[in-house]
């Protein structure tokens, strides 16, 4: 759906949360500099694929993609910093959910290389991710394996029949499908997860870097969705990849995928916060201007009550999100506790953002459902965040199991 050229806005995201003790001066500088930069870009978003390429190029030139990779690979900070990712995604999503998408997929798409890549793999890919020269993609989901990752059917068969099980082969042939792959069709490379041990369940999955254009890979099947994002189905038919392209250890792909998702899960919550903050800001602006029954919409107590509820929902999600990012960056608690904190943040922020945006749309009346209005596009943009990178129901299970174990 066409959205046209991104228009600059006089609306600004709230900055009151930057005084919280979760953040330091480096984080506050990001939040201070990014709004004006994003607001001035004027990207034509009428074609989601062309727009994502443009956003990646601009984000790279602006130095913002350097926060997607660690310092030894051209990154802005020594390690991937969850709090920086949170503030970047929240701000980008306030102005353009598509800009947030382009930024996030550079980090998620290359995250497995940052976490488990060899020195040569990191050097070959990550500096170009940081500069925007290469577009990254994370290929995990399949038609019958979304939340149930262990059910994946994409096979990676060793080229040598005499290769010992559990040892890396010289090369592999990939056969099967991936779907709902963000940046599918525009990515320069894919971090692909496949079964190297078909009977091994989650312990039989390995990860590979597969360059776009590799013979046997077809990434042309674009998937149209309700909000503009470049998604595609990937088809592998005897797609040969070198053993040198394997990420980490044989059959270590599931752990690598979960580690990568854990890093970025809190940032999904942040993207939802950015959209919710924009919806609230739009609602406040509209309520102050809209005249009805001899006063403004903002003068009605019912409007004030709704705005208060929206603000509280945002702050509840924000505090959980910032806590989760802070816990990961400072190694607070156990790995399990950090994962549960990220699950709470992702679930609460995305669900609350959906409610906030729905209330903002209702407050706009007929204008809210007019195609091209900001709250209408936010209504479509927010929906997928409750599904991808772990649906709300998956987060509930993670939290619920933890609560039962503690009782």
Residues 147 and 96 in one domain: no
Residues 87 and 117 in one domain: yes
Last residue of a domain, one of 62, 97, 131: 131
Q: Strand pairing of 231-242 and 136-139?
A: unpaired
Last residue of a domain, one of 201, 216, 251: 251
Residues 177 and 230 in one domain: yes
Please give the positions annotated as active site: 389
Residues 302 and 400 in one domain: yes
CATH of the domain at 143: 2.40.110.10
Residues 229 and 311 in one domain: no
In-domain check, residue 206: yes
pLDDT of residue 164: 59
CATH of the domain at 356: 1.20.140.10
* Block residue for tokens 């904190």: 341
pLDDT of residue 2: 42
Q: Return the exposure string of 92-104: e unless at least 16 CB atoms fall within 10 Å of the residue's CB, then b.
A: bbbbbbbbbbbbb
Angle at 30 between CA 316 and CA 136, to 5 degrees: 90
In-domain check, residue 8: no
In-domain check, residue 262: yes
In-domain check, residue 295: yes
In-domain check, residue 1: no
In-domain check, residue 5: no
pLDDT of residue 166: 62
pLDDT of residue 260: 94
Last residue of a domain, one of 218, 251, 284: 251
Residues 80 and 165 in one domain: no
Residues 326 and 370 in one domain: yes
Per-residue pLDDT of the chain (407 residues; tens, 9 = 90+): 445 888 889 898 888 999 999 999 999 999 999 999 999 999 999 999 999 999 999 999 999 999 999 999 999 999 999 999 999 999 999 999 999 999 999 999 999 999 999 999 999 999 999 999 999 999 999 999 888 888 999 999 998 776 656 677 889 999 999 999 999 999 999 999 999 999 999 999 999 999 999 999 999 999 999 988 999 999 999 999 999 999 999 999 999 999 999 899 999 999 999 999 999 999 999 999 999 999 999 999 999 999 999 999 999 999 999 999 999 999 999 999 999 999 999 999 999 999 999 999 999 999 999 998 999 999 999 999 999 888 999 999 999 999 999 87
Residues 241 and 260 in one domain: no
Tally the domains of the chain.
Answer: 3
Residues 223 and 148 in one domain: yes
Tokens of 372: 């091209």
Residues 61 and 92 in one domain: yes
Structural domain containing residue 207: 136-251
**Which burial class, exposed, middle or buried, applies to 367 when counting CB atoms under 10 A from its CB (0-12, 13-18, 19+)?**
middle
Angle at 99 between CA 96 and CA 104, to 5 degrees: 130
Residues 170 and 126 in one domain: no
Residues 180 and 104 in one domain: no
In-domain check, residue 319: yes
In-domain check, residue 48: yes
């Amino acid at each position: 759906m066409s959205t046209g050229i991104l228009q600059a806005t006089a609306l600004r995201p709230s900055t009151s949360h930057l005084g919280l003790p979760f953040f330091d001066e480096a984080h506050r500088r990001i939040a201070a500099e990014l709004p004006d930069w994003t607001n001035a870009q004027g990207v034509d978003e009428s074609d989601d694929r062309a727009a994502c390429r443009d956003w990646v190029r601009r984000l790279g030139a602006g130095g913002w993609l350097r926060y997607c990779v660690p310092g030894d690979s051209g990154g802005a900070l020594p390690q991937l910093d969850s709090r920086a990712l949170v503030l970047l995604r929240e701000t980008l999503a306030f102005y353009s959910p598509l800009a947030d998408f382009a930024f996030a997929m550079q980090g998620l798409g290359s995250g497995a290389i940052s976490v488990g890549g060899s020195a040569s793999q990191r050097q070959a890919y990550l500096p170009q991710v940081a500069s925007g020269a290469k577009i990254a993609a994370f290929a995990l989901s399949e038609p019958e394996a979304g939340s149930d990752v262990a059910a994946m059917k994409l096979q990676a068969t060793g080229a040598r029949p005499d290769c010992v099980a559990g040892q890396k082969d010289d090369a592999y042939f990939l056969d099967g499908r991936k779907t709902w792959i963000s940046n599918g069709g525009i990515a320069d490379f894919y971090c692909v997860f496949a079964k190297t041990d078909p009977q091994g369940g989650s312990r039989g999955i390995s990860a590979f870097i597969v360059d776009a254009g590799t013979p046997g890979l077809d990434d042309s099947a674009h998937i149209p969705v309700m909000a503009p994002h470049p998604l595609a189905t990937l088809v592998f038919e005897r797609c040969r990849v070198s053993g040198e392209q394997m990420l980490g250890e044989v059959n270590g792909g599931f752990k690598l995928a979960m580690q990568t998702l854990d890093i970025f899960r809190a940032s999904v919550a942040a993207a939802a916060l950015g959209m919710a903050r924009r919806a609230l800001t739009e609602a406040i602006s509209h309520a102050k201007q809209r005249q009805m029954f001899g006063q403004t919409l903002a003068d009605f107590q019912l409007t004030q009550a709704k705005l208060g509820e929206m603000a509280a929902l945002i702050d509840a999600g924000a505090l959980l999100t910032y806590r989760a990012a802070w816990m990961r960056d400072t190694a607070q608690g156990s790995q399990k506790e950090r994962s549960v904190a990220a699950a709470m943040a992702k679930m609460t922020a995305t669900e609350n953002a959906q409610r906030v945006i729905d209330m903002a749309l209702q407050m706009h009346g007929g204008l809210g459902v007019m195609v091209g209005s900001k709250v209408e596009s936010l209504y479509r943009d927010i929906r997928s965040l409750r599904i991808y990178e772990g649906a709300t129901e998956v987060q509930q299970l993670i939290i619920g199991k933890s609560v039962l174990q503690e009782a």
